[in-house]
Structure 1
Amino acid sequence: MPAVSDPDTERLVSEKVDAFWRGIEGGASKRGNITVTIAEKKPKKNWFSMGEEEVPWEQWVINAELRQPKTERDRQTFQANLASTLTKAIETMISYTSSERGRAVVPPITDSSTISPFPFKVLVKVGNQEVG
């Protein structure tokens, strides 16, 4: 997949993934999710204040569960299921983002001075608690 290298984005992703692993390893819950929300900046429509607000237009939720297979056969089955699940997820993302409907929801790019013209947030939860 095409990508642009950006040290700040790479650092943010590494920090969030590390926080996820620390939360999984140190907590009772072995389930969690990472949510990526992409927004656009719009003028605030408020009588008493001026400025901009971030309005989300896309969100991806990555659910994860830590499992420890007990046998070699369990490990092989788990890896095959994981590969299939990840392949389906990537196919869904590519299919949606390359469709007319997927492209129609992307707001106009009004700022080309940064690596990402849209502000984004990454939220990590283990169990139902935010970590990192």
Structure 2
Amino acid sequence: MINVELPTITVDLVLDRSTAKDVLHGVLHAILFHRLFGTIKPTSFEVLDITVPGVSDPETERLVNEKVEAFWRGVEGGNNKRGTITVTLSEKKMKKNYWFSVGEEEVPWEQWVINAELKQPKTDRERQTFQSSLASTLSKAIETMINYTSSERGRAVVPPITDAKGISPFPFKVTVKIGNMEVS
């Protein structure tokens, strides 16, 4: 089932080799920090002199590292230097009774799409300009996350929390695509 009204928040990044993993790591952590809603232990990271919120949890850290590495392998190993990392948040709902089907299904309620492109500055001057621009983009992305998640619209899409156990009352999935191919 595809929900046409699914809010999608997009973050566009142009990355260089030296900071790509750190920036992606920070952005994923920031999204999860603002959307997990369970009992989390907050942490923060310094990325390009910007403090980025994060989640101090071994499973979350493993997931984030796994997805960042998948993205990196995808853009490093091929000709396509663009990809997306998508975080989809869902809620569990009882399946509608279509002839004897019972059980739960995951229904998405929000999606975050990180469009990332790897470029390499050629000179030191280009590198400095690039890093400055990327820091500004990262700062704006964090600001967008804060503004959206604290807005009436951002709060309204969150389903009722019926299970307060664990790090997230809602199932979430993180997928990485390079071109149109999912990588893991």
TM-score past 0.5 threshold? yes
The equivalent residue for 1:116 is 168
The equivalent residue for 1:90 is 142
The percent of aligned pairs where both chains have the same amino acid is: 78
Q: CA deviation at 1:46?
A: 2.6
Q: CA deviation at 1:129?
A: 1.2
The equivalent residue for 1:5 is 56
Residue deviations 1:41-65 (CA, integer Å, cap 9, x gap): 0110032211000000010001111
Q: What is the root-mean-square deviation in Å for CA atoms of aligned residues? A: 1.3
Residues 1:131 and 2:149 are matched in the alignment: no
The equivalent residue for 1:68 is 120
Matches of 2:180 and 2:89 in 1, distance apart? 21
Q: CA deviation at 1:5?
A: 2.3
- Of structures 1 and 2, the larger Rg is shown by 1
The equivalent residue for 1:107 is 159
**Matched residue type, 1:30:** K
SS of 2:154's equivalent in the other structure is: helix
The equivalent residue for 1:58 is 110
Higher relative contact order (CA 8 A, sep 6+): 1
What's the TM-score, normalizing by structure 2? 0.68
Instruction: Give structure 2 stretches of 5+ with no counterpart.
Output: 1-29, 34-41, 43-54
Q: CA deviation at 1:126?
A: 1.2
Q: CA deviation at 1:103?
A: 0.7
Q: CA deviation at 1:87?
A: 1.1
Matches of 2:122 and 2:58 in 1, distance apart? 39
Residue deviations 1:75-95 (CA, integer Å, cap 9, x gap): 111111111111111111100
Matches of 2:88 and 2:180 in 1, distance apart? 18
Q: CA deviation at 1:32?
A: 0.6
Q: How does 1:19-38 map to 2 (within 5 A)?
A: 19-38=70-89
SS of 1:97's equivalent in the other structure is: helix
Matches of 1:49 and 1:28 in 2, distance apart? 44
What's the TM-score, normalizing by structure 1? 0.94
Q: CA deviation at 1:6?
A: 2.0
Instruction: Give structure 1 stretches of 5+ with no counterpart.
Output: none
